[in-house]
Structure 1
Amino acid sequence: MVKWFSLGFWELIARIVLRNRILMLSIIITVTVLLAMQWKNIHFTHTEANMLPDDNIVNIEYNAFLNKFGEEGNLVIIGVKDKTFFTPKAYAAWAKLMNTLKGDKAVELVISLNDLKKLQKNDTLEKFELVPFVDQGKTTDKVYLEKIKKELFNDLPFYEGLLFNKRSGTIRSAIYLDKKIVNSPIRKDFIVNILVPAVEAFEKETKIDLRVSGMPYIRTLNAQTIISEISLFIGASLLVTSLLFFFFFRSFRATLISIIIVIIGVMWSFGFLGLLNYEITVLTALVPSLIIVIGIPNCIFLTNKYHQEYKVHRNKAKALQRVTTKIGMATLMTNVTTAIGFFTFITSNNKLLIEFGNVTSINILALFFLCIIVIPVFHSYIPAPKDRHIEHLDRGYVKSFMDWILRNVKENRFSIYVVAVSLLVFSIIGIYKMRISGSIIEDMPKKAPFFQDIIFFEKEFDGVMPLEIMIDTKHKKGVMKLSTLKRMEELEKEIDEIQGLSKPISIVNLVKYSKQAYYNGNPDYYELPTSQEQAFILSYAKNATKNAKGDIMKSYVDSTGQYARITTFMRDENGGAIPKIEAEIREEANKIFPPERYNVTITGKALVFQKGTGYLLDNLLSSLIFAFFLTALLIGFMFRSFKMILVSIIPNLLPLLLTAGIMGFFDIPLKPSTILVFGIAFGLSVDDTVRFLSQYREELKKNNWKIRKSVYATFADAGLSMFYTSIVLFFGFSVFMLSSFGGTIALGGLVSVTLLFGMLSNLMLLPALVLTLNKTLANEQEFIEPKIDILEHSDEEIDALKKG
């Protein structure tokens, strides 16, 4: 009854599709138009990917910090390292550049040499005044500019590390954007339409190269690169897969049909992104290309079966009908297993991965229905295949390759197991060498100018990735107590000793500068006041910033005076060392700030990213285990045999372990991009296993449980399609290596390698295991009828059931 239902259902589908061709095409066109109408909802993300769930303690602490001090990633820095900078022409161009930026509504504050303020004591008003450091009327005098340079480097230690590097002579400006626009389209407009043209104008006028960085700038240019690569991936994927398809089938019409199908699939993928109101992120940007790479194998399976059927009886209508009838359920199941590989990302509790998993799995299933309808309909309108179109079924080099595999499976199974165990040992050794990367910029395009600028600032100013320490004094106005300031200074000294961290910035710097100003700017007095000096110097400092709108130091004490902030910047190359750095800071903080009197929180984008990577690793490993579990359930439900579950899992587990081992030996770290490899590759690789075992079981029944004959028949039918689709997937994912992003390159390369290992494993290790376990797997009493018959039915069965 189950078999009759299965056969009858797909027989019904085949009839409906072929007898209502115009209606089917009209439905597809209508769906395409409706989804195309959703494209208007597509927009690129303006926020950074946060891989931690909202209720994670790291996120809670980071959000608490943002609530006190606002968005931390609002700083854009412009640097220059050139001996001709302190000349009238260069200085005038610099002042013009800074004034242009300062005048834009997106900018909250600019700290730059041309309008730098210094503290000056006013004894009459008993406060410090902010007076101009540079007399603009004298900037046409080169001698005066040299004097300014000397005074800046020698007399203003407050600005060292913030605006200049005394050792190298590098100068930079700090542009603080309005925190409200940092995560909005206005940020992009400012960077692209104001900042970049102004910098280019300066460089053209002075012939001096400027360096630009900071999170808003990095994020904007990084996003532009991602957008530009979407079309590159779509075009390259389409070209490579269609060329391979034509190479296999030598048919322009069949190739054209497959191209049309995947183009419609790409249109649908953008439509689903808009319908679900998902943003285009570094992951969802890959979905259209994935649809092409996954869609072509569907076309190969169905086209290959059509050619096989037509070669037997030369009846086009009969062949088209039996494509759906015979392998409709098998193709559905392989698409379901692929979708499962992506769908398991929803267990990660991460918005970025959940959206990626949802939209990809939905598109894969939609693509199946698109293929199962369009391929029979289109082939029904075009002429039947010619002899040259079906020659690939007997192509010599493919047949020789399959025969070589078959000989090894039959005669050298022990050697296959020895190789498999050796590869397993190699993998385990490599896995122990793997490392986790906490780098934010590691995956960014290395050849891009903005990446080179990041390296420049890391060298000159010890990093651009912020690490924040928030100190809760548990009392209002507790920050400005001298005891608190001294504790903060002590912690800053410890931070300054940690390799890879920049000079810390906090309210302590301003208080030190206040004492220096009180003693008429003498840099020898750049230190905290004594207990005798604190009363009048601190009162001067408070008065200096009371009405100073936009003063940068106001960002380092909250409005209540209870919370203080210490900011340091970290070299991105130390991302993997963040746990050690955090532990060092926390150990010193606990010594300096008694927990009963202070709460010290360590946070910042760099820390959140590193913690997110670790969290993602744990959750994606769980997702992968979940994928194995779901696949095992599916195999168990189909075959109702525990041994079949083991036979199906082992050949797909080994390629994943081998890829992990290669990552260890070649020092490819675990990071968000490379972690995805395993889920994607497993979902695609297990398709071959399901198809092979399904075909093998059917051949056993047809050949009266004769093992060798059944394996031959399985290779003759399913083996060819497995080879074709694996080659397409290998080269299809290889196009991602055209990316300028290290993560995308690693994703494409590792998935390709894993799928290649998966093909060999499914063509050699899988049948070897089947033959080894043949006494139980081939036993009719143990190998009972599956709950769902996904297998190909013989012509005799189809005809008999129709008559019945």
Structure 2
Amino acid sequence: MHKIFSFGFWNSIARLILRNRIVIIVLIAIITFLLSTQWKNMRFSYTEANLMPDDHPVNQSYNDFLDKFGEEGNLILLGVQDSALFTPEKFKAWNRLTTKLTSFPEVDHIISPASLKELKKFEDPKRFEMLPILESESPNASELKEFENKLFSGLPFYENLVYSSHSNTIQSALYLNKELVNTKARKIFVLEELDPLVKEFEEKYDIEVRVSGMPYIRTLNSQNIIDEISLFILAALIVTSIIFFFFFRSIRATLISMLTVCIGVMWAFGVIGLLRYEITILTALIPPLIIVIGIPNCIFLINKYQQEIKNHGNQAKSLQRVITKVGNATLMTNVTTASGFATFILTDSQLLREFGVVASINILAIFILSLLIIPVIYSYLKIPRDRHLKHLNKRWIGGFVNWMENMVRNHRIAIYISSILLLTASIIGIYTIRISGSILEDMPKNTQFFKDVKFFEREFDGVMPLEILVDTKRPKGVLKLSTLKRMDKLENFIDDIPELSKPLSITRLVKYSKQAYYNGNPKYYQLPSSQEQNFIMPYAKNLESQGSLMSSYIDSTGQYARITTFMQDVGTEKMEEIEADLIPQIQKIFPEERYEVALTGKALLFQKGTNYLVRNLIVSLGLAILLIAGLMAWMFRSFRMIIISLVPNLLPLLVTAGMMGFLGVPIKPSTILVFSIAFGISVDDTIHFLAKYRQELKANNWKIKRSVYAALRETGVSMFYTSIVLFFGFSVFMISSFGGTVALGGLVSATLLFAMLANLLLLPSLLLSLERNIANKKVLKEPAMRIIETDEDDLELDSDNKKN
């Protein structure tokens, strides 16, 4: 392997690149064009991300439910808390609005106050019929007042379905077509049809309409993700270009770097389209991530080129040295970063696997693009002038390097004490970290649709469906009175849980049939006795053809029933408490030998998926540590060096985890990436430092102190520059409206800052303190590959600084 990565190999690569410049330009153009043709295959996710594998028992249970009853997240709610709605003009307008919405193919049916039906008993022949409560299409004020009183006091069947039990709020329920609810048609309907009609109604009649329900939330949430992709890319380009220009003071160098990362972004979108992956809240981060990681590559390459020009003024020689000397170093740092992301591929989560595949491929792609584009473009340009090289003589950075050297030389005990205190505080903070399986927690809090969610939580006790599937193990078993009573008992228990809404099931219709039998008296809204059931049954035979409630809550065989309740936006801990309360009650009410009952639904699925992701995080982080430790073992051939090099990289991760605990930032799908991303990137600094340190040991005849200080001064500036770029680059994510993305950006930025300080203060301190056991010829054998050639000095101090 030593021969493969030898200087001769990279020299051959340099000749190949510089002698085939036209071919390389054409190849990059062709690949970019071909990948751009794949953009059309990019798909935005129209459902919540499936966080668990398909064969997971929780997924199997949910899919079994979908087979019986179809998509349960197909309900959009329109709510109004305004008594003015019950005036003739506005009530008629509301009726027109709901009628208009019914005409769209995306809407299956609507339950609205204007179209409500009442169950009535007829004698000849004996039957129940659902008849309109309001017979007139244009009711007058007195008719509406009578209707309002009847709705709120005489029709408990519609409680929490049409009217709120807490106030005079009413809602219309739009049931979307189950075949279209998870397609692009839903997005078009919500954004281009529903929203404009609602806004027109609000403006014309001065009534605030609240809109919610999972299809609506998912649509606006995915639209926010789409909008933020372009925002992130633009912000990342602006921030990194400003920092780059500040370092180099060269418009030409800045434009070349921006061109390189822009092509990298185009490739990233092309890879997503080529692999037919959906754009989720995770894959949406990849294009700006490529910009942030790609700019340090450009800094290393361009800075080395300018240093070589300053030293001897020979352009061809400078370009050749850029490739041979910086190529190897940037290859290894990009490989370690890509490895950190690639560990996600080994998890069982499709969401993380897709993110890992696209991220690792494109990190290596941006390295290749940087190595090809920068030397080729510079080969066609004039040699940089003196004003382009002024940044190489900056003295202000020398103060930072001097401070680091002074701390390592004179204050190692303070560094160790600070590290131990940070570690102790972090461990305390880690114990306070909570896991969040909330679907809504990451959603933008300042948007109207999030405020509407909170409105429906107050008025109707929740919008996220929690389903209970009851298998009676025999056809028509649901309609047996014993089963209905068991279901009713469970529903009463659910109704007493504050975070859950009043359940919907077939028991409502059965109770309503008894009320109808007793001429609509609301005090008879209850399950019939066995004797009453015999009287009522002849009237109820035609109910199945009267409405959709029967088919919505019982399957065609009558063996399976569903109980639907809606949950408030509770965290994982509360959800687990509710589940722990429900399961014993279910087991008590429904004997296992006669019934099979399963909890499922979107809310439960997401909560279970988050817990599953946390376990995958631990696995992927462990794999990343092992993989990168293996790389370092191969490079440095020293077990002791592996241990000592992991310390300054693991400490920042523990500090970040502690910060999450103290700041109340939960572990969730969006923040779950922090550790693997930060570890994969921060270990680059360690590789640079140790490679330079080993080189200095050989150059200084194994004099340890001199080698440590020389390595610190030589690599300190490069670490500082790249860490600043990465810090501000990841800070771009903090402009997001998604709480999880904000936390991701802030935490990764903070972790990389801690990692830089740990690699520049703690790592050299450990090397000096353990010099007799660590830094000797037996321990530090000849590495399997040279990361930095003998005179490598990319992004290092100029000669003036070295004299300080």
TM-score when normalising by structure 2: 0.97
- The 3-state SS of whatever aligns with 1:77 is strand
Could you say which residue in structure 2 is the equivalent of 1:420? 419
- The 3-state SS of whatever aligns with 2:86 is coil
Could you say which residue in structure 2 is the equivalent of 1:127? 127
**Structure 1 residue 146: Cα displacement:** 1.1
- The 3-state SS of whatever aligns with 1:520 is coil
Q: Distance in 2 between matches of 1:83 and 1:382?
A: 73
Using the TM superposition, name which of 21-30 and 731-740 deviates more: 21-30
Q: Distance in 2 between matches of 1:486 and 1:86?
A: 37
Partners of 2:640 and 2:774 within 8 A in 1: yes
- The 3-state SS of whatever aligns with 1:475 is coil
The runs of 5 or more residues in structure 1 that have no matched partner are: 797-804
Partners of 1:304 and 1:721 within 8 A in 2: no
Partners of 2:430 and 2:660 within 8 A in 1: yes
Q: Distance in 2 between matches of 1:279 and 1:725?
A: 31
- The 3-state SS of whatever aligns with 1:786 is coil
**Structure 1 residue 726: Cα displacement:** 0.6
Using the TM superposition, name which of 533-542 and 155-164 deviates more: 533-542
CA pair 121-9 structure 1, distance change in 2 beyond 3 A: same
**Amino acid aligned to 2:62:** Y
Could you say which residue in structure 2 is the equivalent of 1:792? 789
The answer to whether the aligner puts 1:548 opposite 2:546 as a matched pair is yes
**Amino acid aligned to 1:548:** Q
Q: Distance in 1 between matches of 2:571 and 2:407?
A: 48
Residue in structure 2 matching 1:588, options 585, 588, 591: 585
Q: Distance in 1 between matches of 2:552 and 2:639?
A: 63
Alignment of 1:772-791 (within 5 A): 772-791=769-788
Residue in structure 1 matching 2:625, options 625, 628, 639: 628
Could you say which residue in structure 1 is the equivalent of 2:70? 70
**Amino acid aligned to 1:458:** E
Q: Distance in 2 between matches of 1:541 and 1:399?
A: 89
Using the TM superposition, name which of 761-770 and 210-219 deviates more: 761-770
Q: Distance in 1 between matches of 2:108 and 2:576?
A: 34
Partners of 1:511 and 1:538 within 8 A in 2: no
Q: Distance in 2 between matches of 1:538 and 1:695?
A: 88
Q: Distance in 2 between matches of 1:304 and 1:437?
A: 44
Using the TM superposition, name which of 608-617 and 593-602 deviates more: 593-602
Could you say which residue in structure 2 is the equivalent of 1:799? none
**Structure 1 residue 575: Cα displacement:** 4.4
Partners of 2:652 and 2:754 within 8 A in 1: yes
**Amino acid aligned to 2:235:** A
Partners of 1:156 and 1:523 within 8 A in 2: yes
Could you say which residue in structure 1 is the equivalent of 2:647? 650
- The 3-state SS of whatever aligns with 1:573 is coil
CA pair 452-702 structure 1, distance change in 2 beyond 3 A: same
Alignment of 1:651-800 (within 5 A): 651-794=648-791
**Structure 1 residue 564: Cα displacement:** 1.1
- The 3-state SS of whatever aligns with 1:379 is helix
Could you say which residue in structure 1 is the equivalent of 2:798? none
Could you say which residue in structure 2 is the equivalent of 1:578? 575
CA pair 542-693 structure 1, distance change in 2 beyond 3 A: farther
Cα deviation code 1:543-602 (max 9, x no counterpart): 212x235x1342111111111111111101344311111111111111111111111101
Q: Distance in 1 between matches of 2:298 and 2:715?
A: 14
Partners of 1:213 and 1:454 within 8 A in 2: yes
Cα deviation code 1:189-225 (max 9, x no counterpart): 2112221121112112211010000111111111111
**Structure 1 residue 468: Cα displacement:** 0.8
**Structure 1 residue 629: Cα displacement:** 0.3
Q: Distance in 1 between matches of 2:209 and 2:585?
A: 38
Could you say which residue in structure 1 is the equivalent of 2:110? 110
Q: Distance in 2 between matches of 1:29 and 1:103?
A: 49
**Amino acid aligned to 1:77:** L
**Structure 1 residue 397: Cα displacement:** 2.3
Using the TM superposition, name which of 14-23 and 230-239 deviates more: 14-23
Q: Distance in 2 between matches of 1:175 and 1:575?
A: 29
Could you say which residue in structure 1 is the equivalent of 2:460? 461
Alignment of 1:275-424 (within 5 A): 275-424=274-423
Could you say which residue in structure 1 is the equivalent of 2:86? 86
Partners of 2:712 and 2:764 within 8 A in 1: no
Alignment of 1:27-42 (within 5 A): 27-42=27-42
Partners of 2:88 and 2:141 within 8 A in 1: yes
Alignment of 1:508-519 (within 5 A): 508-519=507-518
Q: Distance in 2 between matches of 1:394 and 1:712?
A: 20
Could you say which residue in structure 2 is the equivalent of 1:618? 615
Q: Distance in 1 between matches of 2:166 and 2:294?
A: 58
The answer to whether the aligner puts 1:273 opposite 2:272 as a matched pair is yes
CA pair 542-447 structure 1, distance change in 2 beyond 3 A: farther
Alignment of 1:131-142 (within 5 A): 131-139=131-139, 141-142=140-141
Partners of 2:88 and 2:138 within 8 A in 1: no
**Structure 1 residue 700: Cα displacement:** 1.4
Alignment of 1:230-249 (within 5 A): 230-249=229-248
**Amino acid aligned to 2:123:** D
CA pair 235-4 structure 1, distance change in 2 beyond 3 A: closer
Residue in structure 2 matching 1:607, options 604, 608, 617: 604
**Amino acid aligned to 2:383:** A
CA pair 4-626 structure 1, distance change in 2 beyond 3 A: closer
Partners of 2:129 and 2:546 within 8 A in 1: no
Partners of 2:509 and 2:549 within 8 A in 1: no
What percentage of residue pairs aligned between the two structures are identical?
A: 59
**Structure 1 residue 39: Cα displacement:** 1.4
Using the TM superposition, name which of 119-128 and 770-779 deviates more: 770-779
Partners of 1:3 and 1:789 within 8 A in 2: no
**Structure 1 residue 166: Cα displacement:** 3.8
Could you say which residue in structure 2 is the equivalent of 1:171? 170
**Amino acid aligned to 1:110:** I
- The 3-state SS of whatever aligns with 1:385 is coil
Partners of 1:89 and 1:206 within 8 A in 2: no
CA pair 700-103 structure 1, distance change in 2 beyond 3 A: same
**Structure 1 residue 732: Cα displacement:** 0.5
Could you say which residue in structure 2 is the equivalent of 1:16? 16
The answer to whether the aligner puts 1:557 opposite 2:548 as a matched pair is no
Partners of 2:162 and 2:171 within 8 A in 1: yes
Partners of 1:305 and 1:323 within 8 A in 2: yes
Q: Distance in 2 between matches of 1:647 and 1:298?
A: 26
Partners of 2:165 and 2:459 within 8 A in 1: no
Using the TM superposition, name which of 710-719 and 342-351 deviates more: 710-719
Q: Distance in 2 between matches of 1:207 and 1:2?
A: 76
**Structure 1 residue 396: Cα displacement:** 2.5
Could you say which residue in structure 1 is the equivalent of 2:564? 567
The runs of 5 or more residues in structure 2 that have no matched partner are: 794-804
**Amino acid aligned to 2:271:** F
Could you say which residue in structure 2 is the equivalent of 1:26? 26
CA pair 484-295 structure 1, distance change in 2 beyond 3 A: same
Q: Distance in 2 between matches of 1:539 and 1:176?
A: 30
**Amino acid aligned to 2:232:** F
Could you say which residue in structure 1 is the equivalent of 2:55? 55
**Structure 1 residue 795: Cα displacement:** 8.5
Q: Distance in 1 between matches of 2:159 and 2:28?
A: 65
**Amino acid aligned to 2:772:** K
- The 3-state SS of whatever aligns with 2:124 is coil
**Amino acid aligned to 1:558:** D
The CA RMSD measured in Å over matched residues stands at 1.5
**Amino acid aligned to 1:599:** E
**Structure 1 residue 148: Cα displacement:** 0.7
Q: Distance in 1 between matches of 2:85 and 2:236?
A: 48
Partners of 1:576 and 1:610 within 8 A in 2: no
**Amino acid aligned to 1:594:** P
Cα deviation code 1:22-44 (max 9, x no counterpart): 22222211211111121121221
Count of equivalent residues: 793
- The 3-state SS of whatever aligns with 2:302 is helix
Runs of at least 4 residues off by over 4 Å: none
